[in-house]
Amino acid sequence: MGFSEPESSYASQDNGVGGVNGLYLIPMYVQGNAAFFSSLAKAVVGAGLDDTVFAYDLVNEGEFDMNEPPLSRTSGSFVAPNGAAYDMASVNEKNV
C-alpha cells in the first residue's frame, strides 16, 4: 500500500489468467516464484548471510483481482495449480 505496484507488469492472458492473478494461478508462474526464492536462498547461504536476513516476505501485499480472468468470468470452469477444477459460475467456488 506504500506505493502503487506496477501490476500491469504481471499481466498475462496465458491460460485464461490475467493480471496479478497469474502469479498464483498459472503453474509456470508458481514454479517460477519458487525457483526465484530458491536461487535467492542459495545466494544468501552462499554468502554466509543466514543470520543477517531476518525473513523472506514471499509476496508484498498479496491479492487477487476480480476484474481479471479467470475471476472475472461468470461461466465455464478453471483448473488451478492445486489441480482442483472450479465452477466460474459459482460465487462460492470463485471466492478468494
Partner 1 sequence: MNDNKENWINTVGAAIKSIQPGALTTASLFAANLVEGSGRRPFKLAEVARSTVNYLDTHNYTQTPSGVALELQSLGISSLASKKPIVMGEFGAESRPTRAASAEVQSSHFKASCAYGYSGWLWWTLDTGLYGSEDTMWRGLMQDDGAMNGNFASVSPTKLSCVVSLPAAYEHVACFNETAYLRENPDVLDAVETGAMASGYQHFLLYGKQEGRSGCSN
Question: How wide is the angle at C-alpha 71 spanned by C-alphas 61 and 26, nearest 5°?
Answer: 70
- Residue 12 is placed in which grid cell? 498475462
**Phi-psi bin for 47: left (phi > 0), alpha (psi -120 to 50), beta?**
alpha
Nearer to partner 1, 8 or 52 (CB): 52
Q: Which is nearer to partner 1, 9 or 50 (CB)?
A: 50
Task: Give the span between the Cα atoms of 75 and 33, in whole angstroms.
Answer: 29
The least distance separating partner 1 from the CB of residue 74, rounded to whole angstroms, comes to 14
Residue 50 half-sphere exposure, CB side, CA atoms within 13 Å?
4
- Min dist. Cβ of residue 71 to partner 1 (A): 8
Site for partner 1, rule CB under 8 A: 1-3, 23-25, 30-31, 33-35, 37-38, 40-42, 44-45, 48-68, 71-72, 78, 80-82, 84, 86, 93-96
Q: Retrieve residue 55's grid coordinates.
A: 525473513
- The distance of closest approach from Cβ of residue 88 to partner 1 in the complex, given in angstroms and rounded to an integer, is 10
Smallest distance, partner 1 to C-beta of residue 13, A: 16
